């Protein structure tokens, strides 16, 4: 589901009846828990950030129970003292939403146990929970949230808890997501760029609401994050769009997908990005006025700034001016062609704040550079 398993039909199941299982290796990631419980695991591949995990904690039991008939029957096995059960999910889910899974482990033996419990999603190990369970005790397991991919067709996600001698598995349905109109997105849905090129993706939609922060981004079905933070907020307030930037380092073909988390339903947008040495290069900044790296901004008169910008393929589009530290966009300059001049009249600033320029092409290629630093001790 997240693009890391080339053959999702094979879940990498291990035999529990013909020998003990070894615990797979882990990539360093989050680790937390009480004195007798630890959780270690990956932070990438559709894992949620701590802020997103906190957002998901509001899921109620009613939310978890709805639609449980739209999943396959659980598969469980146990040949030792521990018994695993998946108690609930919030499935079926709409593509792009969080999948929440709750489970529990029971010690059916007569001595204390401390098993390592792997949580696996579509064949990929997500986290390992290590916890102490007393004889006859049942403990809940919370593996965290999983951001599902916004597919155009219905799909499934298979979740699995496993120890050396026990397993519990369930398959949850993921509903399809409608595509946004191409007019609501930039750049074009298929582009070709050079390696190590940064690309800016934009989405405009009424579903974004008054404040934005509702778009989640994937590259080759792997969750990358969502449009949240001071600059995303400033951009949405000024441009009426949510953005995501991604640097395509190596040659190949990539799919970028965005899931807009709407009040009624989700929507998606997808781009195909070809990366080739013969692709489009990023725009460039060839000069600036004033030429000094530091400048002052008077309260009595605006400061005029200019940038000479170029694009080898003649695809200049706009320059977005940023006042760093203040997280503010003081202006946007429309540019075009292969060479143009972007101008800004800056009427206010803050001591120590950098002035940063985003030079953007019509194909989404972007160059970012700090041009000046405001220093009120500077006379020029």
Judged by DSSP in three states, 208 sits in helix
Query: All domains of the chain, ordered by start, with CATH?
Result: 31-174 (2.60.40.10), 178-227+245-275 (2.60.40.10), 284-374 (2.60.40.1930)
What is the DSSP-derived secondary structure letter of residue 246?
E
Taking a C-beta distance cutoff of 8 angstroms, is the pair 256, 219 a contact? Answer: yes
Judged by DSSP in three states, 189 sits in coil
pLDDT value of residue 84: 96
Q: How far apart are CA 23 and CA 70, in angstroms?
A: 31
pLDDT value of residue 41: 67
pLDDT value of residue 303: 87
pLDDT value of residue 212: 86
Judged by DSSP in three states, 235 sits in helix
Q: How far apart are CA 220 and CA 222, in angstroms?
A: 6
Q: Is the whole model's pTM more than 0.75, yes or no?
A: yes
Q: How far apart are CA 86 and CA 73, in angstroms?
A: 10
Q: How far apart are CA 256 and CA 125, in angstroms?
A: 23
Q: How many other C-beta atoms lie within 10 A of the C-beta of residue 33?
A: 12
Residues of the chain short of pLDDT 70, as ranges, are 1-37, 39, 41-73, 298, 300, 377-380
149, burial (CB in 10 Å: exposed 0-12, middle 13-18, buried 19+): buried
Joined together, the tokens standing for residue 113 give 């146990």
Joined together, the tokens standing for residue 191 give 């582009």
Taking a C-beta distance cutoff of 8 angstroms, is the pair 346, 305 a contact? Answer: yes
pLDDT value of residue 51: 38
pLDDT value of residue 42: 55
């Amino acid at each position: 589901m997240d693009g890391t398993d080339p053959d999702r039909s094979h879940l990498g199941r291990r035999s529990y009846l013909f020998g003990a299982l070894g615990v797979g290796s882990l990539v360093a990631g989050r680790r937390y828990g009480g004195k007798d419980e630890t959780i270690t695991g990956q932070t990438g591949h559709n894992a949620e950030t701590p802020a997103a995990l906190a957002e998901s904690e509001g899921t109620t039991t009613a939310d978890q129970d709805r639609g449980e008939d739209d999943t396959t029957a659980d598969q469980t096995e146990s040949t030792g003292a521990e018994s695993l059960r998946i108690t609930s999910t919030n499935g079926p889910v709409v593509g792009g939403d969080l999948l929440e899974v709750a489970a529990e482990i029971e010690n059916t033996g007569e001595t204390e146990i401390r098993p390592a419990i792997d949580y696996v999603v579509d064949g990929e190990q997500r986290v390992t929970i290590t916890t102490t369970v007393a004889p006859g005790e049942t403990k809940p397991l919370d593996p965290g949230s999983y951001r599902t991919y916004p597919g155009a067709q219905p799909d499934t996600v298979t979740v699995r808890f496993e120890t050396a001698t026990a397993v519990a598995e369930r398959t949850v349905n993921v509903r399809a997501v409608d595509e946004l109109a191409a007019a609501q997105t930039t750049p074009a849905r298929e582009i070709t760029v050079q390696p190590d090129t940064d690309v800016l993706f934009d989405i405009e939609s009424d579903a974004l609401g008054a404040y934005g922060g509702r778009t989640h981004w994937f590259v080759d079905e792997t969750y990358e994050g969502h449009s949240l933070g001071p600059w995303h907020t400033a951009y949405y307030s000024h441009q009426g769009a949510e953005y995501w930037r991604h640097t395509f380092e190596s040659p190949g073909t990539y799919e970028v997908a965005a899931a807009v988390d709407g009040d009624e339903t989700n929507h998606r947008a997808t781009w195909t990005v070809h990366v080739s040495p013969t692709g489009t290069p990023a725009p460039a900044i060839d000069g600036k006025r004033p030429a000094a790296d530091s400048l002052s901004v008077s309260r009595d008169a605006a400061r005029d700034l200019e940038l000479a910008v170029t694009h080898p393929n003649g695809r200049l589009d706009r320059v977005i001016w940023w006042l760093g530290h203040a997280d503010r966009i003081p202006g946007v300059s429309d540019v075009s062609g292969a060479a143009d001049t972007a101008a800004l009249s800056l009427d206010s600033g803050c001591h120590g704040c950098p002035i940063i320029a985003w030079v953007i092409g019509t194909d989404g290629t972007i160059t970012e550079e700090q041009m000046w630093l405001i220093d009120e001790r500077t006379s020029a």
